[in-house]
Chains A and B, each alone.
Chain A
């Protein structure tokens, strides 16, 4: 809602955490006005007008000379009316997935998205290369809303993008179909559910405003009582429940940005972009610190995992040390190998580890799976050490 400007987003917000993407853009980060593109994830129910909206938005941005990068995540769409830079259909053929895995259309779409998500790091790589010249990155999601909102891959995609770029979720509401107060409530509850699911800056987008103006919705959003009156006429649901839900929604509206857009006439796109800009500010002031905290926690966890792995390797080496005297030395040096400050020792340790492994192979013809797995873990540590070699 408009009141969101009162939120604690001071203009003098703390310096954004520097350079979330990897080191490749170090050159661009040196320029003072480093600019990251804003990711707009367009989510909406089937037929609410997501794709048409993106088409209009793209045309609008193009006319203004703002570069936008479009990613289509809907494997089942027959044609994409906007120039999609990355299209899931180029990677996965969902009909083929359906056939091969013997799935229905729903399962096919979900599996296609899952398959695509396994390669999402490459998508991020592509995006990163283009990022310095971009203003917006626009994501079209599958028609079935819950395939994005209630799946692991949807979450992974959203989190991966939000980790690197300011991200705004645009929830598209089919304005003409939502004029019933109870439908409106169901839709808003679902929107609220997505807010909780993604926790990203959230924007409510009323589509098809050329058919029905979204004024009625604005009125309901702003005036709690007028909505209650409308609801009382419409629904047979218990009044107290309806009232309680209204209260929830009233709080929801408080933090909400709203825009109404017509994909046919192009009316309201500028308003939408303004709201996106607000969303970006919210991301910078609210979300990024929160994200940094999460990243820190993850880093600590990762560190611990690595330590565990190394110590496990050391233990294994010590066990094998009883077989051959030389590998005890390897264990001793191997310990120091984990420290980046001693690259030479690391190299030596690695060679010893490899030697120890050969010996093991020679001594025991048969290795059981568990042991192999352990060696696999050892290999991972070796790889890590490679970094320090150069």
Chain B
């Protein structure tokens, strides 16, 4: 049996919800039974109505109004409330057994590092036999040079070491880059060449950081888990490629029973 969940994470404004939406559309088009789970209490309107919504359990507005918390404290309160009432999630999840879940997570890095709510959530879902894949999104607009690229790698890694699930880094908004998306510059970040990266980094950073650059480049070289998958929501191919990467990371499809064709759409296995 397959229980699969994709956790979409990333800083505020990096395009989490857009990514979720794109994946949803793609999955639906390929006939995969898929549901959106919203875990961000501060989220706004969705194009897809989330099947499970933390705002039904605890809306952030109420918390902020009634308890007098600011947005930060309110968010932390909501997430801790979720963990304390995890049965609610269990119950909700039961209706979507055997479906593909896409989790829209809150962006605040604090929830991953300082306050272990996301980690607890992940281990809870793992106990329920979910295979989970983390998707960390970074806005490609901010990757202007190698130093910024390193900054992105490091913040993604920072979330990754905490959650300990298969992990995919995504560079979003490639469609907004225009010509730069095709340029050799971006290619360098998507398929890093250690030597070139180091050379570049040494140009942008001051000499005292050369050794740090070197160590980082080595990390990138040894573990291709810090590579980035480009996402251009305007190209179906790009979305399909990302989904294939996610599926691969959590071995989706390997344990899938052949389904009775519900209708004429049966292409569950391949995304191409």
6 closest A-B pairs by beta carbon, nearest first, are A193-B154, A105-B71, A146-B11, A196-B151, A189-B158, A251-B212
Q: Using C-beta atoms within 8 Å of the partner chain, give the interface range for chain A.
A: 35 or more
Residue numbers in B under 8 Å from A185 (CB-CB): 158, 161
CB of A45 within 8 A of CB of B114, answer yes
**CB-based nearest B residue for A178:** B114
Least CB separation from A247: chain B residue: B215
Chain A facing B: main interface SS: helix
Q: Are B12 and A47 in contact (CB under 8 A)?
A: no
Selected contact of A106 from candidates B12, B147, B159, CB within 8 Å: B12
- Shortest CB-to-CB span from B85 to chain A, Å, is 22
Residue ID in chain A nearest B222 by CB atoms? A244
The answer to whether A107 has its CB under 8 Å from any CB of chain B is yes
B130 sits at the interface (CB 8 A): no
Given A45-B109, A193-B154, A251-B214, A286:B208 Cβ within 8 A: yes
**Assuming A76-B70, A197-B151, A248-B216, is B206 touching A190 (CB within 8 A)?**
no
Q: Which residues of A in the span 15-56 have a Cβ within 8 Å of any Cβ on B?
A: 45-48
Residues of B within 8 A of A48 (CB): 114
Whether, in the assembled complex, A290 has its beta carbon less than 8 Å from a beta carbon of chain B, the answer is yes
Which of the residues A144, A196, A290 comes within 8 Å of B108, measured between beta carbons? A144
Chain B contributes a number of interface residues (CB within 8 A of A) equal to 58
- Chain A contacts with B in 226-278, Cβ cutoff 8 A: 235-237, 240-242, 244-245, 247-248, 250-252, 254-255
> Within the complex, which residue of B44, B139, B152, B159 is in contact with A107, where a contact is CB–CB below 8 Å?
B44
Is B120 an interface residue, CB under 8 A from the partner?
Answer: no
Q: Are A147 and B162 in contact (CB under 8 A)?
A: no
- What is the CA–CA distance of A184 and B205 in the complex, to the nearest angstrom? 25
Residues in B whose Cβ lies below 8 Å from that of A254:
211-212
A186, B159: Cβ atoms under 8 Å?
yes
B contact set with A: CB distance below 8 Å: 11-14, 42-44, 60, 64, 68, 70-76, 107-110, 112-116, 139, 142, 147-148, 150-155, 157-159, 161-162, 164, 204-209, 211-212, 214-216, 218-219, 222-223, 225
Expressed in whole angstroms, the Cα–Cα distance for A193 and B153 within the complex equals 8
**Chain A contacts with B in 40-78, Cβ cutoff 8 A:** 45-48, 76-78
Does A150 reach chain B (CB closer than 8 Å)?
A: yes
* Complex Cα spacing A197 to B110, Å: 18
Q: How far is the CA of A143 from the CA of B110 in the complex (A)?
A: 10
Interface set of A (CB-CB < 8 Å, partner B): 7-8, 45-48, 76-78, 102-110, 143-147, 149-151, 174, 177-178, 182-183, 185-187, 189-190, 192-197, 199, 235-237, 240-242, 244-245, 247-248, 250-252, 254-255, 286-287, 290
Chosen A-B contacts, 19 in total, with CB atoms closer than 8 Å, are A105-B60, A105-B64, A107-B13, A144-B71, A144-B108, A144-B110, A145-B109, A177-B115, A183-B116, A186-B159, A187-B158, A189-B158, A192-B154, A194-B151, A237-B164, A244-B218, A245-B161, A248-B216, A251-B214
Q: A150-B14, A189-B161 are in contact. Are A76 and B72 (CB under 8 A)?
A: yes
Using A46-B108, A189-B161, A194-B151 as known contacts, say yes or no to A107 and B208 having CB atoms under 8 A apart. no
Chain B: CB-nearest residue to A4: B208
